[in-house]
Structure 1
Amino acid sequence: MDELKQRLREAAEAHCPDRARILARVERGMAPPPGDGRPHRPVTRRWRTSWTGAAPRMSWARVAGAGLAVAAVLAAGGYTASAVLGTGGPDRSVGAPPAAPLRADGAVDPHSNRFWAQNNITVTASRPLTALTVELRVAPTGGVASTGHWRTLPAEDFTTSVRKDEDGTLRYTWTLKPGRTAPAGRHVFAGQYNHAEGGRDASGDRYTITATDARGEPASADGDFVP
Protein backbone atom coordinates (compact mmCIF):
# COMPACT_ATOMS: atom_id res chain seq x y z
CA MET A 1 0.00 0.00 0.00
CA ASP A 2 2.86 2.37 0.85
CA GLU A 3 4.45 1.66 -2.53
CA LEU A 4 1.19 2.49 -4.33
CA LYS A 5 0.88 5.82 -2.47
CA GLN A 6 4.46 6.71 -3.35
CA ARG A 7 3.85 6.03 -7.06
CA LEU A 8 0.67 8.13 -7.06
CA ARG A 9 2.51 11.03 -5.39
CA GLU A 10 5.35 10.88 -7.93
CA ALA A 11 2.87 10.79 -10.82
CA ALA A 12 1.03 13.87 -9.45
CA GLU A 13 4.27 15.82 -9.02
CA ALA A 14 5.39 14.93 -12.54
CA HIS A 15 2.10 16.09 -14.09
CA CYS A 16 2.46 19.43 -15.91
CA PRO A 17 -0.64 20.70 -17.84
CA ASP A 18 -0.19 21.95 -21.40
CA ARG A 19 -1.27 25.60 -20.90
CA ALA A 20 -0.96 26.53 -24.58
CA ARG A 21 -3.24 23.70 -25.54
CA ILE A 22 -5.79 24.67 -22.91
CA LEU A 23 -5.85 28.30 -24.11
CA ALA A 24 -6.25 27.18 -27.70
CA ARG A 25 -9.30 25.12 -26.72
CA VAL A 26 -10.84 28.13 -25.00
CA GLU A 27 -10.24 30.30 -28.07
CA ARG A 28 -11.85 27.74 -30.34
CA GLY A 29 -14.87 27.57 -28.04
CA MET A 30 -15.38 31.38 -28.16
CA ALA A 31 -14.81 31.79 -31.90
CA PRO A 32 -17.89 31.95 -34.25
CA PRO A 33 -18.76 28.75 -36.15
CA PRO A 34 -16.76 28.23 -39.37
CA GLY A 35 -18.39 29.09 -42.64
CA ASP A 36 -20.72 31.79 -41.32
CA GLY A 37 -19.21 34.35 -43.71
CA ARG A 38 -18.39 36.87 -40.96
CA PRO A 39 -14.81 38.13 -40.65
CA HIS A 40 -13.30 37.76 -37.22
CA ARG A 41 -10.00 38.25 -35.56
CA PRO A 42 -8.31 35.98 -33.02
CA VAL A 43 -9.18 36.57 -29.41
CA THR A 44 -6.40 38.49 -27.67
CA ARG A 45 -4.97 36.58 -24.76
CA ARG A 46 -5.35 38.91 -21.80
CA TRP A 47 -6.01 36.41 -19.02
CA ARG A 48 -3.39 35.23 -16.58
CA THR A 49 -1.79 31.84 -17.22
CA SER A 50 -0.65 31.04 -13.68
CA TRP A 51 -3.63 28.80 -12.93
CA THR A 52 -3.45 25.02 -13.25
CA GLY A 53 -5.95 22.32 -14.01
CA ALA A 54 -8.06 21.45 -17.02
CA ALA A 55 -10.01 24.27 -18.64
CA PRO A 56 -13.81 23.87 -18.84
CA ARG A 57 -15.38 23.70 -22.24
CA MET A 58 -16.83 27.12 -23.21
CA SER A 59 -18.92 27.58 -26.36
CA TRP A 60 -19.87 30.89 -27.94
CA ALA A 61 -23.55 29.94 -27.68
CA ARG A 62 -23.17 29.44 -23.94
CA VAL A 63 -21.45 32.84 -23.52
CA ALA A 64 -24.12 34.55 -25.61
CA GLY A 65 -26.87 32.76 -23.72
CA ALA A 66 -25.47 33.99 -20.42
CA GLY A 67 -25.36 37.54 -21.77
CA LEU A 68 -28.98 37.33 -22.91
CA ALA A 69 -30.03 36.03 -19.52
CA VAL A 70 -28.35 38.96 -17.76
CA ALA A 71 -29.97 41.39 -20.20
CA ALA A 72 -33.39 39.85 -19.53
CA VAL A 73 -32.94 40.26 -15.77
CA LEU A 74 -31.89 43.89 -16.18
CA ALA A 75 -34.83 44.59 -18.49
CA ALA A 76 -37.26 43.02 -16.03
CA GLY A 77 -35.91 45.33 -13.34
CA GLY A 78 -36.29 48.41 -15.51
CA TYR A 79 -32.55 48.82 -16.16
CA THR A 80 -30.47 49.10 -19.29
CA ALA A 81 -26.79 48.51 -19.81
CA SER A 82 -26.17 52.22 -20.22
CA ALA A 83 -27.97 52.92 -16.95
CA VAL A 84 -25.90 50.32 -15.09
CA LEU A 85 -22.64 51.57 -16.54
CA GLY A 86 -23.55 55.24 -16.11
CA THR A 87 -23.01 56.00 -19.81
CA GLY A 88 -26.44 57.27 -20.67
CA GLY A 89 -29.87 55.98 -19.80
CA PRO A 90 -33.04 57.87 -19.03
CA ASP A 91 -33.09 61.60 -18.45
CA ARG A 92 -32.37 62.06 -14.74
CA SER A 93 -34.18 65.42 -14.77
CA VAL A 94 -37.56 63.68 -15.12
CA GLY A 95 -39.76 64.67 -12.22
CA ALA A 96 -37.84 67.89 -11.48
CA PRO A 97 -40.03 71.01 -11.30
CA PRO A 98 -39.80 73.19 -14.42
CA ALA A 99 -37.96 76.47 -14.18
CA ALA A 100 -40.16 79.46 -13.38
CA PRO A 101 -40.82 81.44 -16.60
CA LEU A 102 -40.45 84.75 -14.72
CA ARG A 103 -38.49 85.89 -11.67
CA ALA A 104 -37.91 89.40 -10.31
CA ASP A 105 -35.91 91.20 -7.64
CA GLY A 106 -36.11 94.77 -6.37
CA ALA A 107 -33.27 96.80 -4.85
CA VAL A 108 -32.31 100.40 -4.17
CA ASP A 109 -29.31 101.23 -6.34
CA PRO A 110 -26.07 101.41 -4.29
CA HIS A 111 -25.18 104.71 -6.02
CA SER A 112 -28.16 106.46 -4.45
CA ASN A 113 -27.24 109.39 -2.16
CA ARG A 114 -28.70 111.75 0.46
CA PHE A 115 -30.70 113.72 -2.13
CA TRP A 116 -31.37 111.27 -4.96
CA ALA A 117 -32.17 107.57 -5.37
CA GLN A 118 -32.87 104.92 -7.98
CA ASN A 119 -35.00 101.80 -7.62
CA ASN A 120 -33.93 98.85 -9.77
CA ILE A 121 -36.22 95.99 -10.85
CA THR A 122 -34.35 93.01 -12.29
CA VAL A 123 -36.56 90.73 -14.39
CA THR A 124 -35.27 87.27 -15.37
CA ALA A 125 -37.25 85.47 -18.09
CA SER A 126 -36.54 81.82 -18.88
CA ARG A 127 -38.46 82.10 -22.17
CA PRO A 128 -39.22 84.96 -24.60
CA LEU A 129 -42.10 87.19 -23.53
CA THR A 130 -44.75 88.41 -25.96
CA ALA A 131 -46.45 90.60 -23.34
CA LEU A 132 -44.84 92.41 -20.43
CA THR A 133 -45.88 95.18 -18.05
CA VAL A 134 -43.57 96.40 -15.27
CA GLU A 135 -44.90 98.84 -12.69
CA LEU A 136 -42.85 100.61 -10.02
CA ARG A 137 -44.54 102.47 -7.17
CA VAL A 138 -42.40 104.81 -5.06
CA ALA A 139 -44.08 105.66 -1.76
CA PRO A 140 -44.56 109.41 -1.01
CA THR A 141 -41.94 109.58 1.72
CA GLY A 142 -39.34 112.32 1.75
CA GLY A 143 -41.01 114.51 -0.90
CA VAL A 144 -40.17 112.29 -3.90
CA ALA A 145 -40.10 113.80 -7.40
CA SER A 146 -39.26 111.92 -10.61
CA THR A 147 -35.96 112.70 -12.35
CA GLY A 148 -36.02 110.01 -15.04
CA HIS A 149 -36.10 106.30 -15.84
CA TRP A 150 -34.45 103.72 -18.10
CA ARG A 151 -34.47 100.04 -19.03
CA THR A 152 -31.94 97.72 -20.64
CA LEU A 153 -34.36 96.60 -23.39
CA PRO A 154 -34.82 98.85 -26.45
CA ALA A 155 -36.81 102.01 -25.68
CA GLU A 156 -38.74 101.73 -28.96
CA ASP A 157 -40.19 98.40 -27.83
CA PHE A 158 -42.00 99.96 -24.84
CA THR A 159 -44.61 102.50 -23.97
CA THR A 160 -43.47 104.27 -20.79
CA SER A 161 -45.42 106.53 -18.45
CA VAL A 162 -44.67 108.38 -15.19
CA ARG A 163 -47.35 109.93 -13.04
CA LYS A 164 -48.00 110.93 -9.46
CA ASP A 165 -51.09 109.57 -7.72
CA GLU A 166 -53.31 111.72 -5.51
CA ASP A 167 -51.56 110.46 -2.41
CA GLY A 168 -48.17 111.48 -3.84
CA THR A 169 -47.03 107.99 -4.93
CA LEU A 170 -44.76 108.01 -7.99
CA ARG A 171 -45.89 105.40 -10.50
CA TYR A 172 -43.59 104.27 -13.34
CA THR A 173 -45.05 101.88 -15.95
CA TRP A 174 -43.26 100.10 -18.82
CA THR A 175 -45.51 98.20 -21.28
CA LEU A 176 -44.20 96.06 -24.14
CA LYS A 177 -45.76 97.20 -27.41
CA PRO A 178 -47.99 94.74 -29.34
CA GLY A 179 -46.05 92.61 -31.78
CA ARG A 180 -42.76 93.08 -29.90
CA THR A 181 -40.94 90.36 -27.95
CA ALA A 182 -38.72 90.61 -24.91
CA PRO A 183 -36.04 87.91 -25.25
CA ALA A 184 -35.23 85.40 -22.57
CA GLY A 185 -32.59 86.66 -20.18
CA ARG A 186 -31.97 89.27 -17.51
CA HIS A 187 -33.47 92.75 -17.94
CA VAL A 188 -33.40 95.82 -15.68
CA PHE A 189 -36.02 98.57 -15.26
CA ALA A 190 -35.09 101.63 -13.16
CA GLY A 191 -36.98 104.65 -11.79
CA GLN A 192 -35.06 107.72 -10.55
CA TYR A 193 -36.25 110.43 -8.18
CA ASN A 194 -35.16 113.21 -5.85
CA HIS A 195 -36.11 113.18 -2.19
CA ALA A 196 -35.61 115.27 0.92
CA GLU A 197 -32.09 115.38 2.33
CA GLY A 198 -31.07 112.35 4.35
CA GLY A 199 -31.51 108.63 4.17
CA ARG A 200 -34.86 107.69 2.65
CA ASP A 201 -36.86 104.68 3.86
CA ALA A 202 -37.79 102.57 0.79
CA SER A 203 -39.71 99.91 2.71
CA GLY A 204 -43.00 101.23 1.33
CA ASP A 205 -41.94 100.97 -2.35
CA ARG A 206 -43.40 98.15 -4.45
CA TYR A 207 -43.23 96.62 -7.92
CA THR A 208 -45.66 94.47 -9.91
CA ILE A 209 -44.97 92.51 -13.11
CA THR A 210 -47.36 90.69 -15.43
CA ALA A 211 -46.27 88.84 -18.55
CA THR A 212 -47.16 86.23 -21.16
CA ASP A 213 -44.50 83.94 -22.59
CA ALA A 214 -44.15 82.72 -26.17
CA ARG A 215 -46.25 79.65 -25.32
CA GLY A 216 -49.15 81.83 -24.25
CA GLU A 217 -48.69 81.02 -20.57
CA PRO A 218 -49.22 83.92 -18.12
CA ALA A 219 -46.72 84.79 -15.41
CA SER A 220 -46.49 87.42 -12.69
CA ALA A 221 -44.25 88.63 -9.88
CA ASP A 222 -44.31 91.32 -7.22
CA GLY A 223 -42.20 92.48 -4.30
CA ASP A 224 -40.53 95.29 -2.43
CA PHE A 225 -37.08 96.86 -2.26
CA VAL A 226 -34.11 96.24 -0.03
CA PRO A 227 -31.50 98.96 0.63
Structure 2
Amino acid sequence: MTDELRGLLREGAEAHLPDRARMLARVERGTAPRPRNGERVRVLSWPKIALATLATAGTLTVSALAVVTAVQAPEPPRNPTAAAPTAAAPSSADRPAPPTEGSRTENGPLWADGSVDPHSNTYWAQSNVTLKARKPLTSLVVELRIALTEGVRDTGSWRTRPAADFDLSARREGGFLVYRWTLKPGRTVPSGEHVFAGQYDHAPGGRDAKDDTYRIEAATAAAEGGAAVWGGFA
Protein backbone atom coordinates (compact mmCIF):
# COMPACT_ATOMS: atom_id res chain seq x y z
CA MET A 1 0.00 0.00 0.00
CA THR A 2 1.44 3.38 -1.05
CA ASP A 3 1.76 6.39 1.17
CA GLU A 4 -0.73 8.28 -0.98
CA LEU A 5 -3.36 5.58 -0.50
CA ARG A 6 -2.80 5.56 3.24
CA GLY A 7 -3.35 9.29 3.33
CA LEU A 8 -6.57 9.07 1.44
CA LEU A 9 -7.93 6.41 3.77
CA ARG A 10 -6.97 8.45 6.82
CA GLU A 11 -8.79 11.51 5.50
CA GLY A 12 -11.90 9.49 4.90
CA ALA A 13 -11.88 8.06 8.40
CA GLU A 14 -11.48 11.44 10.04
CA ALA A 15 -14.30 13.08 8.09
CA HIS A 16 -17.44 13.85 10.15
CA LEU A 17 -19.88 12.75 7.37
CA PRO A 18 -18.14 10.20 5.17
CA ASP A 19 -18.92 10.45 1.47
CA ARG A 20 -18.73 6.90 0.09
CA ALA A 21 -18.80 7.87 -3.57
CA ARG A 22 -16.08 10.40 -3.02
CA MET A 23 -13.93 7.90 -1.17
CA LEU A 24 -14.32 5.30 -3.95
CA ALA A 25 -13.35 7.84 -6.54
CA ARG A 26 -10.19 8.73 -4.58
CA VAL A 27 -9.28 5.10 -4.12
CA GLU A 28 -9.79 4.48 -7.83
CA ARG A 29 -7.51 7.35 -8.70
CA GLY A 30 -4.93 6.12 -6.25
CA THR A 31 -4.86 2.56 -7.57
CA ALA A 32 -4.97 3.39 -11.26
CA PRO A 33 -1.73 2.43 -13.12
CA ARG A 34 0.41 5.30 -14.35
CA PRO A 35 0.74 5.58 -18.14
CA ARG A 36 4.27 5.15 -19.39
CA ASN A 37 5.86 6.52 -22.56
CA GLY A 38 2.66 8.15 -23.72
CA GLU A 39 0.74 4.92 -23.43
CA ARG A 40 -2.97 5.29 -22.61
CA VAL A 41 -4.24 2.75 -20.14
CA ARG A 42 -7.96 1.97 -20.07
CA VAL A 43 -9.14 1.49 -16.51
CA LEU A 44 -12.52 0.07 -15.63
CA SER A 45 -14.26 1.75 -12.75
CA TRP A 46 -15.56 -0.35 -9.89
CA PRO A 47 -19.20 -0.03 -11.02
CA LYS A 48 -18.20 -1.27 -14.48
CA ILE A 49 -16.23 -4.11 -12.96
CA ALA A 50 -19.24 -5.02 -10.86
CA LEU A 51 -21.57 -4.95 -13.89
CA ALA A 52 -19.18 -7.10 -15.92
CA THR A 53 -19.00 -9.57 -13.07
CA LEU A 54 -22.80 -9.72 -12.78
CA ALA A 55 -23.16 -10.21 -16.55
CA THR A 56 -20.67 -13.08 -16.46
CA ALA A 57 -22.49 -14.65 -13.53
CA GLY A 58 -25.84 -14.24 -15.32
CA THR A 59 -24.47 -15.92 -18.44
CA LEU A 60 -23.20 -18.82 -16.37
CA THR A 61 -26.57 -19.08 -14.59
CA VAL A 62 -28.52 -19.20 -17.87
CA SER A 63 -26.13 -21.83 -19.23
CA ALA A 64 -26.54 -23.88 -16.09
CA LEU A 65 -30.33 -23.67 -16.31
CA ALA A 66 -30.22 -24.76 -19.94
CA VAL A 67 -28.10 -27.79 -19.01
CA VAL A 68 -30.44 -28.70 -16.14
CA THR A 69 -33.49 -28.33 -18.40
CA ALA A 70 -31.92 -30.54 -21.04
CA VAL A 71 -31.07 -33.18 -18.48
CA GLN A 72 -34.50 -33.14 -16.84
CA ALA A 73 -36.56 -33.09 -20.09
CA PRO A 74 -38.57 -36.31 -20.45
CA GLU A 75 -37.46 -38.69 -23.16
CA PRO A 76 -39.85 -39.15 -26.12
CA PRO A 77 -41.58 -42.53 -26.37
CA ARG A 78 -39.27 -45.06 -27.94
CA ASN A 79 -42.11 -46.58 -29.93
CA PRO A 80 -44.88 -43.97 -30.43
CA THR A 81 -47.13 -46.39 -32.29
CA ALA A 82 -47.03 -49.04 -29.61
CA ALA A 83 -49.58 -47.29 -27.41
CA ALA A 84 -51.85 -46.23 -30.26
CA PRO A 85 -55.14 -48.15 -30.32
CA THR A 86 -55.62 -50.35 -33.34
CA ALA A 87 -58.92 -51.10 -34.97
CA ALA A 88 -60.03 -54.65 -34.37
CA ALA A 89 -60.36 -56.77 -37.49
CA PRO A 90 -63.92 -57.84 -38.23
CA SER A 91 -64.57 -61.39 -37.17
CA SER A 92 -66.92 -63.97 -38.55
CA ALA A 93 -69.17 -63.33 -35.52
CA ASP A 94 -70.09 -59.94 -37.06
CA ARG A 95 -71.64 -61.61 -40.08
CA PRO A 96 -75.32 -62.53 -39.90
CA ALA A 97 -75.94 -66.23 -39.47
CA PRO A 98 -77.98 -68.08 -42.11
CA PRO A 99 -81.65 -68.60 -41.28
CA THR A 100 -82.14 -71.07 -38.42
CA GLU A 101 -85.66 -71.97 -39.54
CA GLY A 102 -84.31 -74.25 -42.31
CA SER A 103 -85.70 -74.29 -45.85
CA ARG A 104 -89.31 -74.30 -47.03
CA THR A 105 -89.40 -74.64 -50.79
CA GLU A 106 -93.15 -75.21 -51.20
CA ASN A 107 -96.13 -73.40 -49.70
CA GLY A 108 -99.63 -72.89 -51.15
CA PRO A 109 -99.37 -71.85 -54.79
CA LEU A 110 -95.57 -71.40 -54.57
CA TRP A 111 -92.59 -73.62 -55.24
CA ALA A 112 -89.00 -72.32 -55.38
CA ASP A 113 -85.37 -73.37 -55.70
CA GLY A 114 -81.99 -71.61 -55.43
CA SER A 115 -78.96 -72.51 -57.55
CA VAL A 116 -75.67 -71.09 -58.79
CA ASP A 117 -75.79 -70.77 -62.56
CA PRO A 118 -73.50 -73.27 -64.35
CA HIS A 119 -72.08 -70.47 -66.50
CA SER A 120 -70.44 -68.90 -63.43
CA ASN A 121 -66.63 -68.80 -63.57
CA THR A 122 -63.54 -68.19 -61.46
CA TYR A 123 -64.15 -64.43 -61.12
CA TRP A 124 -67.89 -64.00 -61.63
CA ALA A 125 -71.11 -65.77 -60.63
CA GLN A 126 -74.86 -65.69 -61.10
CA SER A 127 -77.33 -66.92 -58.50
CA ASN A 128 -80.74 -68.01 -59.78
CA VAL A 129 -84.02 -68.11 -57.85
CA THR A 130 -86.54 -70.22 -59.73
CA LEU A 131 -90.22 -69.71 -58.87
CA LYS A 132 -93.15 -71.88 -59.98
CA ALA A 133 -96.57 -70.32 -59.44
CA ARG A 134 -99.61 -72.55 -59.61
CA LYS A 135 -101.93 -69.55 -59.73
CA PRO A 136 -101.59 -65.95 -60.96
CA LEU A 137 -99.94 -63.72 -58.35
CA THR A 138 -101.25 -60.25 -57.57
CA SER A 139 -98.38 -59.40 -55.20
CA LEU A 140 -94.82 -60.71 -55.18
CA VAL A 141 -91.54 -59.91 -53.47
CA VAL A 142 -88.41 -61.91 -54.37
CA GLU A 143 -85.33 -61.33 -52.22
CA LEU A 144 -81.86 -62.75 -52.99
CA ARG A 145 -79.12 -62.37 -50.38
CA ILE A 146 -75.49 -62.93 -51.41
CA ALA A 147 -73.02 -63.11 -48.51
CA LEU A 148 -70.27 -60.51 -48.84
CA THR A 149 -67.37 -62.88 -49.20
CA GLU A 150 -64.11 -61.47 -50.51
CA GLY A 151 -64.47 -59.42 -53.68
CA VAL A 152 -68.26 -59.64 -53.99
CA ARG A 153 -69.55 -56.71 -56.04
CA ASP A 154 -72.83 -56.19 -57.89
CA THR A 155 -72.58 -56.45 -61.68
CA GLY A 156 -76.27 -56.59 -62.59
CA SER A 157 -79.44 -58.65 -62.45
CA TRP A 158 -82.25 -59.92 -64.63
CA ARG A 159 -85.62 -61.76 -64.55
CA THR A 160 -87.77 -63.56 -67.08
CA ARG A 161 -90.73 -61.24 -66.39
CA PRO A 162 -90.87 -57.72 -67.92
CA ALA A 163 -88.63 -55.21 -66.12
CA ALA A 164 -91.43 -52.62 -66.17
CA ASP A 165 -93.52 -54.81 -63.88
CA PHE A 166 -91.04 -54.63 -60.97
CA ASP A 167 -89.25 -52.19 -58.74
CA LEU A 168 -85.65 -53.39 -58.30
CA SER A 169 -83.08 -52.54 -55.64
CA ALA A 170 -79.55 -53.86 -55.12
CA ARG A 171 -77.74 -52.77 -51.97
CA ARG A 172 -75.50 -53.93 -49.13
CA GLU A 173 -77.37 -54.79 -45.96
CA GLY A 174 -75.99 -56.48 -42.83
CA GLY A 175 -73.12 -58.31 -44.51
CA PHE A 176 -75.06 -59.24 -47.65
CA LEU A 177 -75.52 -57.96 -51.17
CA VAL A 178 -79.32 -57.92 -51.39
CA TYR A 179 -81.33 -57.97 -54.61
CA ARG A 180 -85.05 -57.28 -54.16
CA TRP A 181 -87.74 -57.42 -56.87
CA THR A 182 -91.17 -56.03 -55.88
CA LEU A 183 -94.20 -56.41 -58.16
CA LYS A 184 -95.74 -53.00 -58.87
CA PRO A 185 -99.36 -52.37 -57.83
CA GLY A 186 -101.86 -53.38 -60.49
CA ARG A 187 -99.45 -55.83 -62.18
CA THR A 188 -99.86 -59.62 -62.22
CA VAL A 189 -97.45 -62.54 -62.50
CA PRO A 190 -99.10 -65.40 -64.44
CA SER A 191 -98.90 -68.98 -63.33
CA GLY A 192 -95.85 -70.82 -64.60
CA GLU A 193 -92.08 -70.85 -64.07
CA HIS A 194 -90.16 -67.61 -63.56
CA VAL A 195 -86.48 -66.91 -62.85
CA PHE A 196 -84.91 -64.01 -60.91
CA ALA A 197 -81.09 -63.76 -61.01
CA GLY A 198 -78.39 -61.65 -59.36
CA GLN A 199 -74.92 -61.28 -60.90
CA TYR A 200 -71.71 -60.35 -59.06
CA ASP A 201 -67.92 -60.46 -59.14
CA HIS A 202 -65.98 -62.30 -56.44
CA ALA A 203 -62.38 -63.08 -55.49
CA PRO A 204 -60.52 -65.42 -57.84
CA GLY A 205 -61.18 -69.08 -57.19
CA GLY A 206 -64.18 -71.08 -56.20
CA ARG A 207 -66.76 -69.26 -54.07
CA ASP A 208 -68.75 -71.05 -51.36
CA ALA A 209 -72.47 -70.12 -51.53
CA LYS A 210 -73.43 -71.83 -48.27
CA ASP A 211 -74.43 -68.53 -46.61
CA ASP A 212 -76.48 -67.22 -49.55
CA THR A 213 -80.27 -67.32 -49.16
CA TYR A 214 -83.49 -66.38 -50.91
CA ARG A 215 -87.05 -65.63 -49.77
CA ILE A 216 -90.28 -65.20 -51.74
CA GLU A 217 -93.57 -63.75 -50.47
CA ALA A 218 -96.64 -63.68 -52.68
CA ALA A 219 -100.43 -63.56 -52.74
CA THR A 220 -103.17 -64.42 -55.21
CA ALA A 221 -106.47 -62.74 -56.05
CA ALA A 222 -108.34 -65.34 -54.02
CA ALA A 223 -108.99 -64.53 -50.37
CA GLU A 224 -106.72 -67.32 -49.17
CA GLY A 225 -103.98 -65.21 -47.57
CA GLY A 226 -100.33 -64.91 -48.54
CA ALA A 227 -97.67 -67.59 -48.99
CA ALA A 228 -93.91 -67.62 -48.43
CA VAL A 229 -91.03 -69.91 -49.38
CA TRP A 230 -87.30 -69.67 -48.65
CA GLY A 231 -84.06 -71.60 -48.87
CA GLY A 232 -80.35 -71.55 -49.65
CA PHE A 233 -77.84 -72.39 -52.38
CA ALA A 234 -75.82 -75.15 -50.74
Q: TM-score range by the shorter chain?
A: 0.5 to 0.7
SS of residue matched to 1:129: coil
Distance 1:126 1:142 in 2: 38
Alpha-carbon displacement from aligned partner over 1:46-100 (angstroms, at most 9, x marks no partner): xxxxxxxxxxxxxxxxxxxxxxxxxxxxxxxxxxxxxxxxxxxxxxxxxxxxx94
Matched, 1:195 2:208: no
Matched, 1:103 2:143: no
Distance 2:126 2:144 in 1: 11
Normalising by structure 2, what TM-score?
0.53
| 1:206 equivalent in structure 2 | 213
Q: CA deviation at 1:166?
A: 4.5
Alpha-carbon displacement from aligned partner over 1:150-193 (angstroms, at most 9, x marks no partner): 000010000000001253x1000000000100000000000000
Q: CA deviation at 1:103?
A: 0.5
| 1:124 equivalent in structure 2 | 132
Normalising by structure 1, what TM-score?
0.54
| 1:155 equivalent in structure 2 | 163
Distance 2:134 2:190 in 1: 9
Distance 2:232 2:223 in 1: 27
Aligned-residue sequence identity (percent) comes to 59
Q: 5+ unaligned residues in a row in structure 2: which ranges?
A: 1-106
Which of these residues, 171, 177, 180, is aligned with residue 178 of structure 2?
171
Q: CA deviation at 1:216?
A: 3.4
Distance 1:190 1:100 in 2: 23
Q: CA deviation at 1:140?
A: 1.1
Distance 1:185 1:140 in 2: 32
Distance 2:165 2:144 in 1: 18
- Counterpart code for 1:137: R
| 1:146 equivalent in structure 2 | 154
- Counterparts in 2 of 1:219 and 1:166: CA distance versus 1, 3 Å: closer
Larger Rg: 2
Aligned residues: 127
Q: 5+ unaligned residues in a row in structure 1: which ranges?
A: 1-98
Distance 1:142 1:220 in 2: 31
Q: CA RMSD in A?
A: 1.2
- Counterpart code for 2:187: R
Distance 1:139 1:166 in 2: 9
| 2:227 equivalent in structure 1 | 219
SS of residue matched to 2:164: helix
Distance 2:191 2:211 in 1: 30
